[in-house]
Amino acid sequence: MLKSKAQNKFKFKVSNSKINVCSFGICALSLFWILCFVIGNFAFCQDTDLEFTLDVSANTIPLPKIFKPGIDLSGRGFHRDASWPQGLAAREAIDAWQKDIGFSGIYRLQYDLWEINELAKDQELQGKLLGNYEAVVKNITDAGGIVILDIFGTPAGLGKVLDKKTVPVDLNAFKELVKGYIRTLSCDKKYNIWYEVWSAPDSDDFFLGREQEYLNLYRAVAEAVKELEAETKIFIPIGGPAVSWWFKNLDGNSIATPERSLLYELMKFCCQNKLPLNFITWHAYSTDPKADKETTIYNKPTVDLIRNWLSYFNFETHLPLIVDEWNYDREANVLPERYERSYICASYIPARLKSMYEAGIDYQIFYSLEDFQNNKEGVVRNVGIFWFDLKESDYKGGPKSVYNAFRMFTNLGKEMFTLPKFEDEFVHIIATKTEDSFAILIDNYIDPEIVRNYLSRNIASLNDKERKALLKLMGTDKFAKIISRKLDPSKVRVSKKPKSLLKKAQELNEQAIKFMEENRNLKLGIKNLKDNYLYQRYTIDSACSQSCEFIPAEEKEVTISDLYQETVILKPYSLNLIILKKKLPQPEIKAPETKETAVSKPESAQSENIESQSKEIKPTQPEITNPETGNTAVSPEESVQSKDTESQNKIKE
């Protein structure tokens, strides 16, 4: 400090011209160092924007079931073949899924009672229709999968009006009808089916009735299940209510009053009437990957609240919670992000699934396998992972790029790493392993409605007055100005907590705008790894806009001594799967013996060879262990020898 003062004191004695020269020199030098620092750090940040190091010796857990591909097999809404379920995707799409992905997960099938009953006068055609339903169920069961069979559609003559969405007038007749189908599928054929009562009963598009009428409808199916279980001693799972969001009821409702939800009422109704309730379902369409992490008015997450309800009504708290309809959705039936830009939807899938896992959801079912168009209802929705063209008489269709996202999930290992924790608003990582490989799935998804979704997730944390004030503000021009930082939230008449949410929304908006246009660079490290590996990287991004082959974008052999590093460029709305598979050592190929070598063998070696043959010394056989008994099985040759020896001993005796 003293030295500094002396220098300053000295400078004041220098002439003005020298002061100007020195000042210019110092400023220029300072600017040079500042530019070097900024540019250097900028380059460094661009190269190591993100960093993730995986220790392959770290602990793992079995890969959660939420990451297993599951899908609603619906599609089209119309088929020229009347024996094929009209709301089911085409055979070609189902066959492609079964071939590439398989049916070992959980799948949803819409069982349309109206459609089945319409063919009652043509027994042969009705039998083919039921046979086609059953064939799909059988394929899933044989593969070890689960079928959620959604029972809906009141048959003509049983409803209040001639409409499949109406409530049955004669619930006993409806119960007996459903009981017959359940008996065949679950009791006689023993397929692995979970029965769901109706779909989206809170929407007039799917159910015309009141809340109590839905509960009575559920009771009719539940009593049929109870009677069959008592008769056959076979467990038959039943659940619901498959509402359009977990807090919804038939009058709408909001997250501010969750106890008014149909889900809550169904639990209470089943408890009071001693009815089975074996799983809970609801739908959740959104662009928000964190949609399942909503905060409730009790300052606890959605899943925790639902499990508290289950406990209160004397149900097992670990009952499966299933989001059995979800997709990338911006409240429109047709979206470019689900077709010509379906790579966006593809990048959304792992981000959403990771959030579901962290929220505590047990199972998920993506909606749907195929697009909808040219149906009686006039509904056109491009929600499918397969597109199709009905103008052609033969099948014309195929997978969108979002299909490859599900194929990536089938390549994950059976064990998942839980560490290290990786926190980023837009990039998410799932790291897994098998005995001889590692698979790392990386997505870069930016929510285009991040502001609205962030506020929606957290609005229940506000009190009633704060919620009303924030909602009112969101309906004015001021809101857009606040988010774009043209207006300071502190100048708006809302309390401290809403202002805090608005400031966070500003930050998220700026980050989203930035990363929608910029690549992220991930410095990926894998340590405690040794050997030769085949490195493969599969990618879905804007270069694969509508559809592309499922082949590696990059492939190479790498030799790893301890730490492997790779820089992965993450484009906006991209998905990368990195697989490291251990290369097996090449077997040694012995050179064939020459004629001279064979002749020069000593006679003693020949005699030893003859002697060894006479003793029938066999090469050691690998032990084969029976997984059921744990005993070591003998080779077929040893078995034959022991039997011959026993026979000879018996003859001697």
Residue boundaries of the structural domains of the chain: 64-411, 450-515
> Helix (H, G, I), strand (E, B), or coil: what is residue 315?
coil
Whether residue 2 is predicted with pLDDT greater than 50 in this model: the reply is no
Q: E-assigned strands of 318-435?
A: 321-326, 363-367, 386-388, 397-399, 415-417, 427-433
pLDDT above 50: residue 15: no
- Residues ≥6 apart with Cβ < 8 Å to 231: 187
Q: Locate 109 and state its tokens.
A: 């099938």
Query: Quick one: pLDDT at residue 41?
Result: 37
pLDDT at 635 over 60: no
d(CA 148, CA 186): 12
Question: What is the pLDDT at residue 545?
Answer: 84
Sign (positive/negative) of CA torsion 217, 221, 224, 226?
negative
* Reported confidence tier of residue 393, pLDDT bands at 50, 70, 90: confident
Predicted pLDDT of residue 592: 67
Q: What is the mean pLDDT of residues 336-361?
A: 98
Instruction: Give residue 593's pLDDT.
Output: 62
Residue 636: the pLDDT is: 34
| Arithmetic mean of pLDDT, 504-514 | 97
List the single range of 457-461, 501-505, 589-593, 624-628 with lowest mean pLDDT. 624-628
For the CA atoms of 378, 382, 387, 391, the dihedral, rounded to the nearest 10 degrees, stands at: 30
Q: Which two tokens stand for residue 16?
A: 């003005």
Structural contact between residues 54 and 525, judged by C-beta atoms closer than 8 angstroms: yes
Tell me the mean pLDDT in the region 397-426: 96
Res. 27: pLDDT tops 50: no
The pLDDT of residue 638 is: 42
The distance between the two most distant Cα atoms of the chain, rounded to a whole number of Å, is: 129
Total residues belonging to the chain: 653
**Average pLDDT estimate for 393-421:** 94
Comparison of pLDDT for 529 and 616, the residue scoring more: 529
Question: For residues 26 and 34, is the Cβ–Cβ distance under 8 A?
Answer: no
Residue 589 reports pLDDT greater than 80: no
Average pLDDT, the chain: 86
Instruction: Kindly state the tokens that stand for 405.
Output: 């996202």
Number of other CB atoms surrounding residue 8 within 10 Å: 9
For residues 196-222, give the mean pLDDT.
Answer: 97
CA 337/CA 343 separation, integer angstroms = 7
* Count of Cβ atoms closer than 10 Å to residue 453 Cβ: 20
The percent of residues in the chain predicted with pLDDT above 70, rounded, is 83
Residue 46 has pLDDT above 70, yes or no: no
Task: Please compute the mean of the pLDDT values over residues 376-381 and round it to a whole number.
Answer: 87
Can you count the helices (H) and strands (E) in the chain? 18, 22
Residue range 94-110: mean pLDDT, rounded: 98
**Bridge partners for 364 per DSSP:** 323
The three-state secondary structure class of 536 is strand
Euclidean distance between CA atoms 445 and 354, whole angstroms: 12
What does the pLDDT read at residue 591?
66
Cβ contact 611:605 at 8 Å: no
Query: CA distances (Å), 539 to each of 442, 519, 544, 637, in order?
Result: 10, 14, 8, 50
Query: In which residue are the tokens 């805090």 written?
Result: 500
How would you class 478 by CB atoms within 10 Å of its CB: exposed for 0-12, middle for 13-18, buried for 19 or more?
middle
Q: Given this model, what pLDDT does residue 8 score?
A: 35
**DSSP label at residue 274:** T
- At 394, is the pLDDT very low, low, confident or very high (cuts 50, 70, 90)? confident
The reported pLDDT for the residue numbered 367 is: 98
Q: What percent of the chain has pLDDT over 90?
A: 77
- Pick from 63, 105, 100, 67: which is nearest to 192 by CA? 105
CATH classification code of 64-411: 3.20.20.80
Instruction: Give CA torsion, residues 202, 203, 209, 213, to 10 deg.
Output: -30
Q: What is the pTM of this model?
A: 0.83
E runs forming strands in 305-453: 321-326, 363-367, 386-388, 397-399, 415-417, 427-433, 437-444
Give the amino acid at 313.
Answer: F
Residue 419 vs residue 307, higher pLDDT = 307
pLDDT value at 38 more than 80: no
- Pick 29 or 196 by higher pLDDT: 196
pLDDT tens for each residue of 545-565: 888 999 999 999 999 999 999
CA separation (Å) from 100 to 145, 383, 411, 518, 631?
A: 15, 20, 11, 33, 36
Structural tokens at position 580? 């490291």
Extract the tokens encoding 300.
């606890």
| Residue 514 pLDDT exceeds 50 | yes
Q: Tell whether the torsion through CA atoms of 474, 302, 348 and 358 is positive or negative.
A: positive
Q: Strand 50-55 to strand 60-62: parallel, antiparallel, or no bridges (unpaired)?
A: unpaired
pLDDT of residue 598: 45
d(CA 578, CA 441): 6
* pLDDT for res 595: 53
Q: Which of 2-6, 76-80, 436-440, 643-647 is predicted with the least confidence, judged by mean pLDDT?
A: 2-6
Contact criterion met (CB below 8 Å) for 315 and 267: yes
Which residue in the block uniquely carries the two structure tokens 């007996």? Answer: 176
Buried b (16+ CB within 10 A) or exposed e, 103-128: bebbbbbbbbbbbbbbbeeeeeebeb
Overall average pLDDT of the 378-406 stretch = 92
